[in-house]
């Protein structure tokens, strides 16, 4: 986990005034997102609302044109995905990103293989240690799959669980989950929601991006809605009403709330 200085604060992530343009297209304009320590924050919005752009700015895949990002209270520049990982941020994307012809263990350690020998280039793969660590990781997450099974033989839900478990190998503080239940069966989606709850119980702060508002309302402590690159408000999960979420997704922040914010500014 990243060694940072401000872990006593309320927020583990603070993105303030984030603006990102692509030519004349404004993808994000003055967006502020705050992730509390050990919470599940859902990011909701219609296609083109700016969800992917915002999380890519946090994951190091894109750099904002303006704005500030703080991790544990410290201002940071996240110019590469490697830098995001160093700060304790891992991301799992909706395309599953698993290699079907490899085993569960090989997928978990893909690109981060353990070796024995004088150095990582000349060493020999430490298959025994990788299998042991993979089993420990899956047991901690209560994921019941065979570590020696090829991923192509797993169900869609099991593949997603393996993909998510791989992000936890580095003991991250923050996990971004982009549409983790997309294209899964009801049973597979339920297993992913259970995993999210277990991850939160282990102290991980999670940003959950999903179009499934039922899953969002069940999993999230708060819901941040985006509309056409602007913030449309943050709703407490216990009070989340699906109609209210949809109205914000379609029409943006209600005028009364926008006026109240302007008066408080």
Q: Is residue 131 part of a domain?
A: no
> Whole-angstrom Cα distance, residue 98 to residue 185?
18
Report how far apart, in Å, the C-alpha atoms of 93 and of each of 27, 52, 107, 131 are. Answer: 20, 10, 15, 24
Per-residue pLDDT for 77 more than 70?
A: yes
What average pLDDT does the segment 193-212 reach?
94
CATH code (residue 257): 3.40.50.300
Is 223 inside any structural domain? yes
- Within a domain: 127: no
pLDDT over 90 at 111, yes or no = no
pLDDT averaged over the chain? 90
Contacts of 194 (CB under 8 A, 6+ apart): 142
The answer to whether residue 144 scores a pLDDT higher than 70 is yes
Residue 242 placed within a domain? yes
Residue 31 lies in a domain: yes
pLDDT grade for 263, boundaries at 50, 70 and 90: confident
The domain of 176 spans: 11-98+153-264
Number of domains in the chain: 1
Q: Is residue 119 a part of any domain in this protein?
A: no
pLDDT for residue 19: 98
Q: Residue 187 above 80 pLDDT?
A: yes
Output the six-digit token pair for 236: 């407490």
Over residues 116-135, the mean pLDDT reads 83
Reduced to 3 DSSP states, what percent helix, strand and coil does the chain have, rounded to the nearest 5? 35, 25, 35
* pLDDT for residue 4: 40
Residue 5 pLDDT more than 50? no
117 is a domain residue: no
Average pLDDT over residues 29-40: 97
| Domain presence at residue 146 | no
**Integer Cα distance of 131 and 104 in angstroms:** 9
Per cent of the chain over pLDDT 70 is 93
Confidence of residue 183 (pLDDT cuts 50, 70, 90): confident
Whether residue 95 is predicted with pLDDT greater than 70 in this model: the reply is no
């Amino acid at each position: 986990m990243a060694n940072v200085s401000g872990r006593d604060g309320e927020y583990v992530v603070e993105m303030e005034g984030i603006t990102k343009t692509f030519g004349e297209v404004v993808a994000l304009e003055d967006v502020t997102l705050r992730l509390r320590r050990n919470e599940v924050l859902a990011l909701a919005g219609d296609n083109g609302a700016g969800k992917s752009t915002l999380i890519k700015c946090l994951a190091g895949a894109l750099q904002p044109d303006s704005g500030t990002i703080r991790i544990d209270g410290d201002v940071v520049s996240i110019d590469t995905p490697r830098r995001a990982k160093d700060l304790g941020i891992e991301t799992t994307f909706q395309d599953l990103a698993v290699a079907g012809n490899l085993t569960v263990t090989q997928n978990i350690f893909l690109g981060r293989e353990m070796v024995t020998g004088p150095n990582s280039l000349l060493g020999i793969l430490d298959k025994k240690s990788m299998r042991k660590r993979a089993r420990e990781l899956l047991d901690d997450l209560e994921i019941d799959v065979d570590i020696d099974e090829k991923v192509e033989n797993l169900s869609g839900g099991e593949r997603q669980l393996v993909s998510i478990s791989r992000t936890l190998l580095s003991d991250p503080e923050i996990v971004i989950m982009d549409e983790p239940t997309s294209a899964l069966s009801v049973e597979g989606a339920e297993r992913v929601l259970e995993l999210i709850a277990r991850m939160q119980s282990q102290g991980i702060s999670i940003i959950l991006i999903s179009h499934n508002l039922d899953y969002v309302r069940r999993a999230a402590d708060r819901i941040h809605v985006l509309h056409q690159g602007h913030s449309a408000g943050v709703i407490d999960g216990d009070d989340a009403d699906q109609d209210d979420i949809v109205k914000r997704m379609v029409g943006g922040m209600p005028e009364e709330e926008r006026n109240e914010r302007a008066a408080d500014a």
